[in-house]
Amino acid sequence: MPEGLTGSTTRNAVVFLAVVAGGAALWWMRSILTPLVLALFLLVLIDALARGLKRVIPGLPKRAATPVAVVLSLILFGLTTYFLIDNTRGFVGQLIDYGPRLNAKVASIAADFGVQTPPTVADALTSLNPTKYLGGAAQSVQSILSDAVFVLIYLGFLIASRQGFGRKIVTLFPAHDRRERAARIMGRIGLGVERYVWVQTVTGLMIAAAAWALMAAIGLNNALFWAFFIFIAAYIPMLGAAVCIIAPAVFALVQFDTWWQAAALLGGTELIFFVVGNLILPKMQGDSLNLDPVVILLSLAFWGAIWGLPGAFLSSPLTVVAMIILAQFPTTRWIAVLLSENGDPDSSGAHPAGRKAGPS
């Protein structure tokens, strides 16, 4: 076997083993790394908000931009939490009122299949014995609250330690060219995360607004709550769309006496997600994230398997970060090329710099 081929095979094998070992380490340290990565994600968003405030308010002092951005973020988080709690209370109350309707629906469907005495909702819940799941549910809620506290703690320390970060960069990279290169890489990482949030926010608003209009026209209860739920779920690629398409249609079956409302919601939301997800989102993702659509799906499965829901939420920005870092080393650049949408991991647009779309 030629020496060059042997060396290339060895390097690729080492890279593969490093990826496997890295994935195992990420899974093993997920309880520590997940809050830290979420805090870094929030820090990038706060920095973007601070820069936006300085552009909108030219007289805002540079030192005051970040505190104002933090306060605005906390206010937005508080308003969102209040909205969810307020609407969830009414939503749960309506679910209780839907009990007799749901029993009637179950009886009607059972009669179509020749079942004379179908079980009621209460019977189904009793057979499931939900009390045995209460401990797990309480533990999950406690874990979420604990993670949220750790995220805020990490975020506070990250903001406090930013002042000395510039001096650390100078010490780590005394050569000017290497320091400039490190700054460019970090800038690209931050820009990639910001672009991801921008793309998901814009497309999520499109989907939520169109879905709200459809649900309001049909008369579905809690249309605004469902629209907000759809907007949040849209940040999870692929999986969020599947949940948002089915859930409103299921509740329409319970609310209405006829079937056409549920069919209209199912078909309408499917059409909305198809148009945005297949025409608008790929174009915006390709132009901004430079990630291959297949890679987006695989990254969702990979990060979701390692870190659960936070991993699914952060799958695309984490893959962008990995692509940017892998592109800096000759032995791993081929992986970055495969991850990129246009074959050029150093570019952020849909087409490599200096090239135009279309045949040459």
Burial-class residue 133 by CB neighbours within 10 Å (0-12, 13-18, 19+): exposed
Burial-class residue 239 by CB neighbours within 10 Å (0-12, 13-18, 19+): middle
CA-wise closest residue to 40 among 150, 170, 199, 144? 150
Distance CA 79, CA 41 (A): 20
Indicate the residue type of 31: S
357 has pLDDT over 60: no
287 has pLDDT over 60: no
Indicate the residue type of 258: T
Distance CA 41, CA 193 (A): 8
Please give the mean pLDDT across all residues of the chain: 75
The pLDDT tens digits for 44-78 are: 888 888 888 888 887 778 778 888 888 888 888 88
CB atoms within 10 A of CB 333: 14
Q: Which residues pair with 291 in a beta bridge?
A: 340
Measured N-to-C along each axis, helices 30-56 and 3-28 cross at an angle, to the nearest 10 degrees, of 90
Strands annotated E in 27-99: none
Which phi and psi angles does 291 have, rounded to 5°?
-115, 140
The pLDDT tens digits for 73-117 are: 888 888 877 777 777 766 666 666 666 666 666 666 666 666 565
Classify the C-alpha dihedral 109-110-111-114 as positive or negative: positive
Q: Give the single-character DSSP code of 352.
A: -
12 has pLDDT over 50: yes
Structure tokens at 237: 């690629």
> What is the pLDDT at residue 213?
93
> What is the pLDDT at residue 106?
62
> What is the pLDDT at residue 96?
62
Mean pLDDT of 136-158: 70
At CA 235, angle to CA 302 and CA 68, rounded to 5? 120
CB-based contacts of 287, cutoff 8 Å, min separation 6: 349, 350
The pLDDT tens digits for 199-216 are: 888 888 888 999 999 999
pTM: 0.69
> What is the pLDDT at residue 214?
92
> What is the pLDDT at residue 104?
66
CB atoms within 10 A of CB 283: 12
Q: How many CA atoms lie within 13 A of 58 on its CB side?
A: 0
